[in-house]
Structure 1
Amino acid sequence: MDRVKIYLLLACLFSWTISVVRSEDPYWYFTWKVTYGIASPLGVPQQVILINDQFPGPNINSTSNNNIVVNVFNNLDEPLLFHWSGVQQRKNSWQDGLPGTNCPIQPGANFTYKFQVKDQIGSYFYYPSLGLHRAAGGFGGLRINSRLLIPVPYPDPEDDYTVLIGDWFTKSHATLKKFLDGGRSLGRPEGVLINGQNAKGDGSDKPLFEMKEGKTYKYRVCNVGLKDTLNFRIQDHPMLLVEMEGSHTVQNIYDSLDVHVGMCFSVLVTADKKPRDYYMVASTRFSKTLITGKGIIRYSNGKGPASPEIPAAPIGWAWSLNQFKSFRWNLTASAARPNPQGSYHYGQINITRTIKLVNSVSRGSGKLLYGLNGVSHVDPETPIKLAEYFEIPDKVFKYNVISDNPSSVATTLTVQPNVLNITYRTFVEIVFENHEKSIQSYHLCGYSFFFVAIEPGLWTPEKRKSYNMLDTVSRNTVQVFPKSWAAILLTFDNAGVWNLRSEIAENRYLGQQLYISVLSPERSIRDEFNIPNNCLLCGAVKDLPKPPPYA
């Protein structure tokens, strides 16, 4: 081959390499130093978890299909994991950051998470997932913006703000954990925080957010608390709901929104009132004691403090149920991919399996336990995902130890790993039946589901006639009101091991959760990514050779 042909060949190869590199989706790199610190969010000095000296932690701002790389340095005195709540982790439960999927990051060590926010938009948050770490902070906002070529069904806002609301305890996470280990409940929180603060209302408060008169702003509101549903509202400012956990919604106007634990909403707010300060308010719902947190929004040209007369919260859960029924999926809006969301006609797919999950609580022998279908889940020393991948599940857990259709509410709970095996790409109905007097909130990792119904009483197959089979919102968290049931539908098309849990912290910690194994029969990289090279190994797999990678 002569020199000219060689040059041409090299030029073509170089051009091809550049085009491949340029076609890859962007990467965003973060380095987190996780430490303890002292803060006084309710006026009482207490230990909190900081990320890069921040409480709450820094926001992760990304766009659909971006690759996120987070290098976590654990400078705590105990193991640590981070979970990316609501991020679907397509084919990649390796990065989910839960004790059923990952070995913990030991004190003094670091670990790098790498995941892609594939074909997804919306408002989410992250948090430390072991024990009761979330009670100490370590949480932050995680937003996924739409790509420029995908139209959004509202004009670009002047600015985009993250609002993290949650109940708050002044006792340390270690003390709260001892309460639960000793058979006690968490009790009532001491306050409610908005972005780690609670305005005093004495004129000394700095604004959390600023708005220019006449402009419209987007507020992403997430409940990152431990147990309480919170009602969120902004003084004198109605809110236009536009997005909910990754789905564009029909744009209704609300004076307030009930935000259940683990849920996120995005609203548009226009600064069209008298220029001065206004309170944003979050107050507890469905509890005997009303606890309220406040934060200040300031007009940039405003003069004067916020009025002390804050809008009242609604009363009763029937109001909240009616609000849920007003939420609808925007079927004319584009999704993360350039195809209409409404093209997925979930109401025309045959259900292949129905799983009814009944929550219960046991207080026998001075031990407080929560469970699903008679089993109180406990995390084994070897993460379920690793035991399955290394093909030693029988040494760690058993599949399907619970019935799909329990005949009664369990009064005695068995303590063991609770793992369901669900066939890949089947369309499944899950019914949550709540016999307790308290509200429940459940989250499913790795998926969005269709939240088709919620009603008082007990579920029967006849209740399917009341399902919304057209435009219910696709989301990842579901509330279940006292003495009520809720139903969701979804296709289990994301291979991996995924957590379904109560978002009520003490319920989850004391066993009200399970893991769902969705195995691809072909064991192909087309369906699930290979184990990461930096995957931490522990328990029974610590010294085992890694199985051959998927082809």
Structure 2
Amino acid sequence: MKGGVKLLAVCLCLAVATVVVAEDPYFHYVWNVTYGTASPLGVPQQVILINGQFPGPNINSTSNNNIIVNVFNNLDEPFLLTWNGIQHRKNSWQDGTAGTMCPIPPGKNFTYHFQPKDQIGSYFYYPTTAMHRAAGAFGGLRVNSRLLIPVPYADPEDDYTILINDWYTKSHTQLKKFLDSGRTIGRPDGILINGKAGKGDGSDQPLFTLKQGKTYRVRICNVGLKASLNFRIQNHKMKLVEMEGSHVLQNDYDSLDVHVGQCFGVLVTANQEPKDYYMVASTRFLKNALTTTGLLRYEGGKGPASSQLPAAPVGWAWSLNQFRSFRWNLTASAARPNPQGSYHYGKINITRTIKLVNTQGKIDGKLRYALSGVSHTDPETPLKLAEYFGVVDKVFKYDSISDNPTSDQIKNIKIEPNVLNITHRNFIEIVFENHERSVQSWHLDGYSFFAVAVEPGTWTPEKRKNYNLLDAVSRHTVQVYPKCWAAILLTFDNCGMWNIRSENSERRYLGQQLYASVLSPEKSLRDEYNMPESSLQCGLVKDKPKINPYAGA
């Protein structure tokens, strides 16, 4: 009997040990990045393919999965991918921006390793080097919930990703030459849905097929260069359930404004007459709107889609009102087994306010864009590597912009690396102020933030009384309408070098971005990982031996 008890105890210990050492699943991908030819708008042009695909392959993941992507650069110039919205906890080494990584040289490869934690939702990836985004190499990235964590809706019949974007018939190299010469790239030539422009005459092949009475999850991402887009489906409502990794209150919408860099997750029920229907994407805030269609087909349906397309809304005030209707779902589970709303951000004291004012001007006769008077330029040595190897004084200086810039500072644009020095775990307010007539879209890598307000006019501290301090959506991208401001709140608890950028590729390329440096005060692996052995080195640190400055917890 005693022997049986002893055997049982040993078995239990082994079972516990097995649970403790078990790792989260690993998923491996090998991507070959090449040039190819496609005709998205009927004109043959050079595009960038991933494994021969345009757009690139979708990544279908679950929270806590380890994603390994070995990227082989077969282009004739350096290349990088960023995983838009994935937070890379303690790991800006995988962020895929010029401030954090050396680009992958032609003919070489780099293996990304990242783990999407606490982020059930819809995302995408795209290239950050040169103007490569104008040629493709973008694709969807979904993070599903683990079985342990319930989502606030029934399992859909299927899950579809819809990538919408503006498109130019000029090559990415030609667009880059325009910008390098001081010119704008101008207005786009057309709109694409999943890499295609619909003919709108019923002859297109359906992008998706639906079963009568079934409900589908549809993820809509604007992966374009500069245009805000409105998305709608003929005769169908869209129930918004998720936005950039957060569950939201489930309101029905006839159409959604999706600004550059943003992703929405909606439910669509096939509850109409079985036939064809158009999905419609069109530009917003352009004088002469561009529109395209994609076909939905009911299984066994009879009859073509109506040629009468649903109209897009008019004006930015409509879009602002839609933004105000978005609310965090405080009762839904987060990626961990606790409610989203258990984090009471509205009760935390603000320790620093940073106002970022977007401007444009000319330097030596060439167009540049800036934030609070500084137009960012990427040094040859990535900012993160300069910090890591202790050569900051040879590469950049911190806080070259003021937290509350004067009008003179904003007007007198200078070109240099733009890096904010942020204290670890400080709760910070960032205000994006837009004095221009165009809609801006801003993104922060490494974090989700609470978009507490978007309002007309100029920001002052008194405007805080208009903040939503209860259920603003936790997200990573926010739009700012003409002559308006937007305020976001967040705790900078993720150590690393993180990009704050305009999602307008033209503006980002010409300097409208900066980096937030969040250093580990104790140099501990609890706060940040050491530089991976596989990381590339370039610039001043190209031949320096790798170091491991962070100690274990």
Smaller-chain TM-score bracket: over 0.9
Q: CA deviation at 1:317?
A: 0.2
Residue type of the alignment partner of 1:395: K
Deviations 1:435-479 (CA, angstroms, capped at 9, x unpaired) = 001110000000000000011100000000000000010000010
3-state secondary structure, aligned to 1:378: coil
Quote the Cα distance in structure 2 between the aligned partners of 1:262 and 1:239.
20
Q: Which residue of 2 is the match for residue 489 of structure 1?
A: 489
Quote the Cα distance in structure 1 between the aligned partners of 2:287 and 2:171.
23
Q: Which residue of 2 is the match for residue 478 of structure 1?
A: 478
Quote the Cα distance in structure 2 between the aligned partners of 1:212 and 1:444.
38
The answer as to whether partners of 2:531 and 2:548 remain within 8 angstroms in 1 is no
Q: Which residue of 2 is the match for residue 359 of structure 1?
A: 358
1:456 aligns with 2:456: yes
3-state secondary structure, aligned to 2:321: helix
User: Are the structure 2 counterparts of residues 181 and 268 from structure 1 closer, same or farther at C-alpha, using a change threshold of 3 Å?
Assistant: same
Deviations 1:199-238 (CA, angstroms, capped at 9, x unpaired) = 1123431111110000000100000000000000000001
Q: Which residue of 2 is the match for residue 290 of structure 1?
A: 289
Quote the Cα distance in structure 2 between the aligned partners of 1:444 and 1:17.
39
TM-score (norm 2): 0.96
TM-score (norm 1): 0.97
Q: Which residue of 1 is the match for residue 68 of structure 2?
A: 69
Q: CA deviation at 1:492?
A: 0.2
The answer as to whether partners of 2:202 and 2:305 remain within 8 angstroms in 1 is no
Q: CA deviation at 1:389?
A: 0.6
Quote the Cα distance in structure 1 between the aligned partners of 2:184 and 2:332.
44
Quote the Cα distance in structure 1 between the aligned partners of 2:79 and 2:364.
31
1:536 aligns with 2:532: no
Q: Which residue of 1 is the match for residue 341 of structure 2?
A: 342
3-state secondary structure, aligned to 1:363: strand
The answer as to whether partners of 2:480 and 2:486 remain within 8 angstroms in 1 is yes
Quote the Cα distance in structure 2 between the aligned partners of 1:315 and 1:120.
33
3-state secondary structure, aligned to 2:411: coil
1:268-307 alignment runs, 5 A limit:
268-307=267-306
Q: CA deviation at 1:549?
A: 4.0
Q: Which residue of 1 is the match for residue 4 of structure 2?
A: none
Q: Which residue of 2 is the match for residue 249 of structure 1?
A: 248
3-state secondary structure, aligned to 2:176: helix
Residue type of the alignment partner of 2:86: V
Deviations 1:273-296 (CA, angstroms, capped at 9, x unpaired) = 011110101100011110001100
Residue type of the alignment partner of 1:452: V
Identity %: 72
Q: CA deviation at 1:301?
A: 1.3
Give RMSD over aligned pairs.
Answer: 1.6
Q: CA deviation at 1:365?
A: 3.4
Quote the Cα distance in structure 1 between the aligned partners of 2:123 and 2:497.
20
Question: Structure 2, unaligned stretches of length 5 or more?
Answer: 1-6
Quote the Cα distance in structure 2 between the aligned partners of 1:307 and 1:313.
16
User: Are the structure 2 counterparts of residues 108 and 454 from structure 1 closer, same or farther at C-alpha, using a change threshold of 3 Å?
Assistant: same
Quote the Cα distance in structure 2 between the aligned partners of 1:521 and 1:279.
54
Quote the Cα distance in structure 2 between the aligned partners of 1:19 and 1:484.
52
User: Are the structure 2 counterparts of residues 49 and 13 from structure 1 closer, same or farther at C-alpha, using a change threshold of 3 Å?
Assistant: farther
Question: Structure 1, unaligned stretches of length 5 or more?
Answer: 1-6
User: Are the structure 2 counterparts of residues 311 and 12 from structure 1 closer, same or farther at C-alpha, using a change threshold of 3 Å?
Assistant: closer
Residue type of the alignment partner of 1:310: L
Residue type of the alignment partner of 2:315: G
User: Are the structure 2 counterparts of residues 13 and 541 from structure 1 closer, same or farther at C-alpha, using a change threshold of 3 Å?
Assistant: farther
Deviations 1:101-123 (CA, angstroms, capped at 9, x unpaired) = 00010111111000111122110
Residue type of the alignment partner of 1:183: G
Q: Bigger CA drift: 130-139 or 361-370?
A: 361-370
The answer as to whether partners of 2:63 and 2:143 remain within 8 angstroms in 1 is yes
User: Are the structure 2 counterparts of residues 308 and 532 from structure 1 closer, same or farther at C-alpha, using a change threshold of 3 Å?
Assistant: same
Residue type of the alignment partner of 2:449: F
Q: CA deviation at 1:69?
A: 0.2
Q: Bigger CA drift: 362-371 or 135-144?
A: 362-371
1:524 aligns with 2:524: yes
1:435 aligns with 2:431: no
Q: CA deviation at 1:20?
A: 4.8
Q: Which residue of 2 is the match for residue 3 of structure 1?
A: none
Q: Which residue of 1 is the match for residue 384 of structure 2?
A: 385
The answer as to whether partners of 2:533 and 2:546 remain within 8 angstroms in 1 is no
